[in-house]
Chains A and B, each alone.
Chain A
Amino acid sequence: MSLPLFHAILFYMFAAVAVGAALAMVVQRNPTYSAFALIVSLVSLAGIFGLLGSPFIAALQIVVYAGAIMVLFLFVLMLLNVKEELRVAGEGRVSKLVAIALGAVLAGEVGSVLVAVRTPVAAAFDASARAVALLLFEKHYLYVFEATSILILASLVGAIALAKRDPSP
């Protein structure tokens, strides 16, 4: 089997899994199952990143997203002992239909732009960790990178301050 064909088969497989898991996440009433479906979707997206020639971002996706962030979500779900979403009697079909219609309108709008957009395929493409790091640390992104470290520190302090129990009731 030729390599491009193999790539294409892998791509459509990952794409189908990503969309299927995302749909499972949305229709699921139990948030813990939703979280696991989202992990599956994120991991198959990492595979697609790898197929698009970005091994560094694919690795980051698995380590940071599927690893760290989703573990944080599951940790909070376990901590709060979340039950299944209750079915409310007045929860009408109308709101669901409006939600799906709005999503379809958005998809139609952006899709009509996306099919018109020109997407050549660059001949030489090197997105290894070395190439990305050179751009990140040597060119004009260094100060932005330093700013994100301050953002992380601020969010760390903010998360601790927010989740802390009030000392005085």
Chain B
Amino acid sequence: MNPLIVPHALLLSLALFAIGVVGVFLRRNIITVFMCVELMLNAVNLAFIAFSRSWGNLDGQVLVFFVLTVAAAEAAVGLAIIISIHRHKDTLDVDAFNIMKW
């Protein structure tokens, strides 16, 4: 394998994570914000896989497996919360969601 692929995969994961962060700040639709969070989770998965390949250690793969499971659970609960909020507020704009503001 080309030895440059691992460091470049790490840089790719950094780029994807930064794009996800900017998206969370930039977008106001809550579902898009949620998708940006998923992108950040994937960037971290890529870093796990790259380090796993780099050190020949399979624990990174197992961690990615658990991140996938947690992401699936998080998506199910998060989307249920979004549906329930949409029923009360009739909008998906994050600026409108301030019911927990004290």
In the assembled complex, the Cα of A7 lies from the Cα of B7 at a distance in Å of 15
List residues of chain B with CB under 8 Å of any chain A CB.
1-12, 14-23, 25-29, 31-32, 34-36, 38-39, 42, 45-46, 49-59, 61-62, 64-66, 68-77, 79-84, 86-87, 92-93
**Per-residue contact bits, chain A 156-169, to B (CB 8 Å; 1 contact, 0 not):** 10111011010000
Contact B84 A163 (CB under 8 A): yes
List residues of chain A with CB under 8 Å of any chain B CB.
4-5, 7-8, 11-12, 15, 18-19, 22-23, 25-26, 28, 31, 34-35, 38, 41-42, 45, 48-49, 51-54, 56-57, 60-61, 64-65, 68-69, 72-73, 76-77, 79-80, 82, 85-86, 95-96, 98-100, 102-104, 106-107, 110-111, 114-115, 117, 119-125, 127, 131-132, 135-136, 141, 144, 148, 151-152, 154-156, 158-160, 162-163, 165
Main secondary structure of the interface of B (DSSP, over half): helix
Given A57-B49, A60-B65, A119-B10, 20 other A-B contacts at CB below 8 A? Answer: A19-B15, A26-B27, A31-B32, A35-B31, A35-B35, A41-B39, A48-B46, A54-B49, A65-B38, A77-B31, A79-B83, A80-B92, A103-B21, A107-B14, A120-B54, A121-B1, A122-B56, A151-B73, A155-B72, A155-B77
- Count of inter-chain pairs, beta carbons less than 8 A: 242
A106 to chain B, nearest CB (A): 6
